[in-house]
Amino acid sequence: MSLSFYSSSVDETKELGRKLGRILKPLDIISLAGNLGAGKTAFAEGVARGAGFKGDVMSPSFGLVRLYRTRKLNLYHMDLFRVSENETGEIGLEDCFGDPKGAVMIEWARAARIYLASDRLEISFEYKKEGRQITLRARGPRGRRLVDFLKS
């Protein structure tokens, strides 16, 4: 099941993320795919806001993982752009994916594919005209719950 939106501004992208963040639950996984500058981190900021996180949200490029702690969630934001698959064992990803209060959003997820549950939400960001095309694809029932909510 998939759902597609056109976003004409960074604020629209964040707003879509915020909607999703409001209903995000522990163990949800969102992978964010798209070229450099396509809007993955902007969307992730919206998700963190929607989940109730008030602090700084930024690309975790150097730290690789950031934790946004809210009342209901430990929201992990990963960016594995610089990481290859044989290095992921050193980052402690299994602690994030294994956190019962944890939800994960991940940019450049390829290196972490052995950790990704098959049930997740995949979101792709593509440059289109002056804005971005954002496409959500549910992989399993958890992903579907999130897509269904954004549809309504």
Ligand X SMILES: Nc1ncnc2c1ncn2[C@@H]1O[C@H](COP(=O)(O)OP(=O)(O)OP(=O)(O)O)[C@@H](O)[C@H]1O
List contacts with Mg ion (CB under 5 A): 40-41, 59, 107
Read off the DSSP letter of residue 116: S
For β-strands 2-7 and 131-139, DSSP reports them as antiparallel
Rounded CA separation 67/147 (Å):
24
In the window 62-91, what residues touch ligand X (CB under 6 A)?
Answer: none
Q: Which residue has the tokens 């299994």?
A: 94
In the window 10-29, what residues touch ligand X (CB under 6 A)?
Answer: 10, 12-13
Question: Which of the ranges 17-25, 34-42, 64-72, 86-94 carries the binding residues for ligand X, by CB under 6 A?
Answer: 34-42
Report if residue 59 touches ligand X, rule: CB under 6 A.
yes
In the window 95-124, what residues touch ligand X (CB under 6 A)?
Answer: 107
Q: Which one, 60 or 143, has the nearer CB to ligand X?
A: 60
| Contact yes or no for 20/50 (Cβ under 8 A) | yes
Instruction: Specify burial of residue 64 (Cβ count, 10 A radius: 0-12, 13-18, 19+).
Output: buried
Positions in the binding site for ligand X (CB under 6 A): 7-10, 12-13, 34, 36-42, 59, 107, 125, 131-132
